A = this chain, B = another copy of it.
Amino acid sequence: METDLHQAITASGLRMTRQRQVILDVLRQSHGHLDAEALHDRVRQQDPRISLATVYRTLALLKEFGLVQEHRLGEEHGHFEAAPQAPHYHFTCLKCRKVIEFQASSVQRVVREVAAKESVQITDVHLLLSGYCADCSREGVEGNHET
């Protein structure tokens, strides 16, 4: 639960650094889906010297290890979260940008079907729903031409 980073790192012949540990720790403690800058800000509170480049580098590494997931939530930048125990998916509000997580076992069924039918090996599943949350449900996606 905390040594899996050490494990992955050394198994790969890489080196354990304070930066890598801090970045993973911060991501694990943070609920929600942080972008690189937001993560950098929080990481700096633990160690003000860590650079944004190292945040990006470490995120790429943690993704390879399967310890971190990146999501595209409809914006021009990525959002990151520590890999959860059970897979989950996302809804994001086009107006207020709120993110709601949900589970749906039937998605795994679809994944198995596609894997079989297309003879592919599936390693990642991203389901993103977007629209308007309960608070924002009013106007639609396109043109509200009323006053």
Contacts and interface: CB of A to CB of B under 8 A. Distances in A.
A interface residue count range (under 10 / 10 to 19 / 20 to 34 / 35 or more) = 35 or more
Contacts of A100: 118, 120
**At the interface, is chain A mostly helix, strand, loop or mixed?**
mixed
22 contacts: A64-B141, A72-B72, A91-B114, A91-B120, A91-B122, A93-B120, A94-B123, A100-B120, A104-B114, A106-B109, A106-B110, A107-B127, A110-B127, A118-B134, A119-B133, A119-B137, A121-B132, A123-B132, A123-B141, A124-B131, A125-B128, A127-B127
Interface of A: 12, 64-66, 72, 91, 93-94, 100, 102, 104, 106-107, 109-111, 113-115, 117-134, 137, 140-143, 145
